[in-house]
Amino acid sequence: MNRFRFLALGIVASSFAAAQTVPVEVTFDLPVFNKYVWRGANLSNGAVLQPSLTFGLNGWNLVFWGNYELTNTNGNRGRFDEIDTDLSFSGESGHGAWTLGFIYYDFPNTGAAPTSEVYGQFAFARDWTPTVSAYFDVDQADGFYLNLEASRTMEGLTFAEGIPAIDFTYGAAVGYGDKKHNNFYYNNNDSGLTDWRVFGNFNFAGSRNGAFYVNTAFTGFLDGDQLRGARNRNNFVVGAGYAMKF
């Protein structure tokens, strides 16, 4: 864990040194959610805090993200049970925007072994912003996961005089996993469709450097064999947070 994080910091620090005249963009995000659902799986059925800290410069982004348990659902109240480190590089082409990255997943206070994924993403420059994301676990699962998403944003919605304008983003996504991925995460030894998600996110302009938001989503499984017999296979997730840029 420490070696990868030091390497990530080293790469970004080198980019910073090579472009001292370009300011580093730092974003701190502090949301709270009623539960934690990842790729359809309910990982925590109680309230969680999910802070993140992002450093960005010249297309590079280094993100530290954590899941902090606010209840004792998993026996970890008042502790982090997941800390992710995400290093990525993004750019644009004539058809949209792309990202290549590496994520290190660590699970303190759980006894679970850490794992890592390399990933790529492409968001097409269309009204509905079709987005294709592919992840390959290079450690524990050694499997492949594909996510297809489409979303659209309605900007500057106003409901009454004196109320700040709202940006509303809505969309849907579906996932697919190969045999190794599904066996590791869902106890299903077959490749196939995994999870679905529909979502609606509200963004309220706060100050010049910050914004308040409310995110909502319904999630579930497309294949009854994914986590067969598990509770909470369909979930409603709602959360609110404030993101600040420095």
Model confidence pLDDT, tens digit, residues 2-49: 555 555 555 555 554 544 556 899 999 999 999 999 999 999 999 999
CA distances from 192 to 43, 160, 186 (A): 21, 46, 11
Question: CATH number, domain at 65?
Answer: 2.40.160.40
**What are the tens digits of pLDDT across the range 76-107?**
999 999 999 999 999 999 899 999 999 999 99
**What are the tens digits of pLDDT across the range 144-176?**
999 999 999 999 888 777 777 899 999 999 999
What is the count of structural domains for the chain? 1
Distance between CA atoms of 239 and 84, rounded to whole angstroms? 20
List, in sequence order, the alpha helices (H) in the chain: 2-18, 179-186
Structural domain for 225, as ranges = 2-245
105 has which bridge partners? Answer: 84, 115
Residue 202 structure tokens: 């509200």
DSSP state for residue 109 in the 8-state scheme: T
- Which residue in the block uniquely carries the two structure tokens 């993200």? 65
One-letter amino acid for residue 116 of the chain? S
